[in-house]
Structure 1
Amino acid sequence: MYDTIVIGIGGMGSATLWELARRGQKVLGLERYDLGHSMGSSHGFNRIIRLSYFEHPSYVPLLRRAYALWRKTEELAGEQLLFITGSIDASREDGRVFTGSLAACKEHGLSHEVLGAREVNSRFPGYNLPDYMACVFQPEGGFVASERAILAYAALAVDAGAEIHAREKVVAVEPGQGRVAVITDQGRYEARRAVVAAGAWISDLIPGLTMTAVPERQVLGWFQPIDPSAFKPSVFPVSNIAADHGHYYQFPSWGIPGFKIGKYNHFKEHGHADELSREPRPDDEAALRLAIRDLFPKADGPTLRLAACLFTNTPDEHFVVDTLPGHPEIIVASPCSGHGFKFASVMGEILADLATTGESKFDLELFRYARLAT
Structure 2
Amino acid sequence: MSTASYDVIVVGAGSMGMSAGYHLASRGARTLLIDAFDPPHNNGSHHGEPRLIRHAYSGGAIYTELALRSHELWNELEDASGEKLLVQSGVINMGSPGVYSLEDKRDRSAAFNVEIEYLDADEIQKRWPGIQLPEHYQGLYEPKAGYLFSERCVAAYRKQALAAGAELLVNTLIRHIEADGEGVAVHTPSGIIRAGKVIVSAGAWFKTLEPFITLPIRPVRKTVGWFESAETLFNESVFPGFTLGTENGGYYGFPSIGGAGVKIGRHDTGVPWLPGEEVKPFGSYPEDEGDIRRALETFMPQAAGKLLRGAVCKYEFTPDEDFIIDVHPEQPNVLLAGGFSGHGFKFSSAVGELLADLALDGSTKRDIGLFSLARFQQAPSR
Q: Shorter chain as normaliser: what TM range? A: over 0.9
Are 1:45 and 1:255, in contact at CA under 8 Å, matched by a contact in 2?
A: no
Are 1:222 and 1:258, in contact at CA under 8 Å, matched by a contact in 2?
A: yes
What is the aligned counterpart of 2:68 among 59, 64, 67? 64
- Which piece of structure 1 moves more, 128-137 or 337-346? 128-137
- The one-letter amino acid of 2:243's match is N
Q: Give the equivalent residue in structure 1 for 2:113.
A: 109
SS in 1 for 2:102: helix
Alignment of 1:346-365 (within 5 A): 346-365=350-369
Q: Give the equivalent residue in structure 1 for 2:131.
A: 127
What is the percentage of aligned positions where both structures have the same residue? 37
Q: Give the equivalent residue in structure 2 for 1:218.
A: 222
TM-score, scaled relative to structure 2:
0.93
1:240 aligns with 2:271: no
SS in 2 for 1:202: helix
Give runs of ≥4 in structure 1 deviating > 6 Å.
none
Q: Give the equivalent residue in structure 1 for 2:16.
A: 12
The CA distance in 1 between the partners of 2:49 and 2:225, in whole Å, is: 12
Are 2:217 and 2:339, in contact at CA under 8 Å, matched by a contact in 1?
A: no
TM-score, scaled relative to structure 1:
0.95
The CA distance in 1 between the partners of 2:193 and 2:43, in whole Å, is: 25
Q: Give the equivalent residue in structure 2 for 1:187.
A: 191
C-alpha distance after superposition, 1:68-108 (max 9, x if no partner): 11101111001111111111222222434423322322332
SS in 2 for 1:189: strand
What is the aligned counterpart of 2:370 among 366, 370, 374? 366
Are 1:97 and 1:240, in contact at CA under 8 Å, matched by a contact in 2?
A: no
Alignment of 1:90-105 (within 5 A): 90-105=94-109
What is the aligned counterpart of 1:152 among 153, 156, 168? 156
Alpha-carbon spacing, 1:343–1:207, altered in 2? closer, same or farther (3 Å): farther
Alpha-carbon spacing, 1:246–1:208, altered in 2? closer, same or farther (3 Å): farther
How far is 1:277 from its partner? 2.1
C-alpha distance after superposition, 1:29-75 (max 9, x if no partner): 11101221101100002111001113443311111111111101111
Q: Give the equivalent residue in structure 2 for 1:200.
A: 204
- The one-letter amino acid of 1:201's match is W
RMSD: 1.7
- The one-letter amino acid of 1:230's match is L
How many residues in Structure 1 have an aligned counterpart in Structure 2?
A: 372
Q: Give the equivalent residue in structure 1 for 2:253.
A: 250
The CA distance in 2 between the partners of 1:211 and 1:22, in whole Å, is: 30
What is the aligned counterpart of 1:45 among 20, 44, 49? 49
The CA distance in 2 between the partners of 1:254 and 1:178, in whole Å, is: 51
Are 1:217 and 1:276, in contact at CA under 8 Å, matched by a contact in 2?
A: no
The CA distance in 1 between the partners of 2:30 and 2:358, in whole Å, is: 16
1:288 aligns with 2:292: yes
Q: Give the equivalent residue in structure 2 for 1:228.
A: 231
How far is 1:273 from its partner? 3.3
- Which piece of structure 1 moves more, 298-307 or 143-152? 298-307
- Which piece of structure 1 moves more, 234-243 or 283-292? 234-243
Q: Give the equivalent residue in structure 1 for 2:263.
A: 260
Alpha-carbon spacing, 1:276–1:189, altered in 2? closer, same or farther (3 Å): same
Are 2:100 and 2:246, in contact at CA under 8 Å, matched by a contact in 1?
A: no
Are 1:218 and 1:265, in contact at CA under 8 Å, matched by a contact in 2?
A: no
Alpha-carbon spacing, 1:235–1:221, altered in 2? closer, same or farther (3 Å): same
Alpha-carbon spacing, 1:36–1:256, altered in 2? closer, same or farther (3 Å): farther
Q: Give ranges in structure 2 of 5+ residues lacking alignment.
A: none
How far is 1:335 from its partner? 5.2
Q: Give ranges in structure 1 of 5+ residues lacking alignment.
A: none
